Amino acid sequence: MRISIFLVFISIQAVGFFSDIKFAFGNDLQVSLENEVAGITPGMTLLPKATGNINQPASQTTGPEKTGTHPKDEPKFNIPDDIYQRAGFISNKITPVGKVAKIFDNKLGTSGPEKVFINLGRRQGLELGDKFIAYSQEKFINHPVLDKRRNFLDILYRERKPGFGTEKFWMPQGKPMGYRTDIRGVLEVIEVGETSSAALIIKAYEDIKPDEFLMPYREMIEPSVNGQDKSIDGYVVATQQDRIIVGLTDVVYIDKGWVDGVSAGQIFEVYHIPEKVVKPWYQVRSFGLKRTPMLPDVLGEIKILNTQRHTATAVIVQSHLDMQVGHKIRIKR
Q: What is the pLDDT of residues 231-250, one digit of tens each?
A: 999 999 999 999 998 999 99
d(CA 69, CA 64): 16
- The SS3 assignment for 254 reads strand
Question: Looking at residue 280, what is its pLDDT?
Answer: 75
Cβ count near 143 (within 10 Å) = 22
Rounded CA gap, 216 and 193, in Å? Answer: 18
Cβ(50)–Cβ(62) under 8 Å?
no
Q: Which CATH class is domain 233-331?
A: mainly beta
Q: Is the pLDDT of residue 166 over 90?
A: no
Sign, CA dihedral 230-235-241-246, equals: positive
- The pLDDT assigned to 9 comes to 56
Per the CB < 8 A criterion, the answer to whether 181 and 96 are in contact is no
Residue 221 confidence class, pLDDT cut points 50, 70, 90 = confident
pLDDT of the residue at 192: 95
CA dihedral 15, 18, 19, 20 (to 10 degrees): 110
Using CB atoms within 10 A of its CB, is residue 208 exposed (0-12), middle (13-18) or buried (19+)? buried
Q: What is the pLDDT of residue 178?
A: 95
* Digit-coded pLDDT (tens) for 58-98: 444 333 344 443 334 344 556 777 888 899 999 998 999 99
Residue extents of the structural domains in the chain: 82-216, 233-331
Residue 313 pLDDT greater than 70, yes or no: yes
pLDDT of residue 212: 95
- Kindly report, residue by residue over 16-65, the tens digit of the pLDDT: 544 554 554 445 444 444 444 455 555 555 555 444 444 444 444 333 34
Q: What are phi and psi of 85, to 5 degrees?
A: -75, -35
Q: How confident is the model at residue 288 (pLDDT cuts 50, 70, 90)?
A: low
Across 151-162, average pLDDT: 48
pLDDT given for residue 68 in this prediction: 40
Q: What angle do CA 246, 147, 313 make, to 5 degrees?
A: 35
Task: Say how far apart CA 178 and CA 139 lie, in whole Å.
Answer: 9
Q: Using CB atoms within 10 Å of the CB of residue 206, give its burial: 0 to 12 exposed, 13 to 18 middle, 19+ buried.
A: middle
Mean pLDDT of the chain: 77
**Amino acid identity for residue 108 in this structure:** L
Whether this prediction's pTM lies above 0.85 is answered by: no
Quickly state the pLDDT bin for 326 (edges 50, 70, 90). very high
In this prediction, residue 227 has a pLDDT band, given cuts at 50, 70 and 90, of low
Ranking 23-32, 112-121, 199-208, 317-326 by mean pLDDT, the lowest is 23-32
CB atoms within 10 A of CB 322: 13
Question: Average pLDDT in the 130-149 region?
Answer: 89
Residue 57 half-sphere exposure toward CB, CA atoms < 13 A: 1
**Residue 295 pLDDT exceeds 70:** yes
Find out whether 114 and 199 touch, Cβ atoms under 8 Å.
Answer: no
Give phi and psi for 81, each to the nearest 5. Answer: -60, -35
What confidence tens digit (pLDDT) does each residue in 248-268 have? 999 999 999 999 999 999 999
What pLDDT does 200 receive? 95
* Lowest pLDDT segment from 22-31, 169-178, 217-226: 22-31
What are the helix (H) ranges across the chain?
2-19, 81-86
Q: How far apart are CA 176 and CA 90, in angstroms?
A: 11
Burial call 174-198: b when 16+ CB within 10 Å, e when fewer: bbebbbbbbbbbbbebeebeeebbb
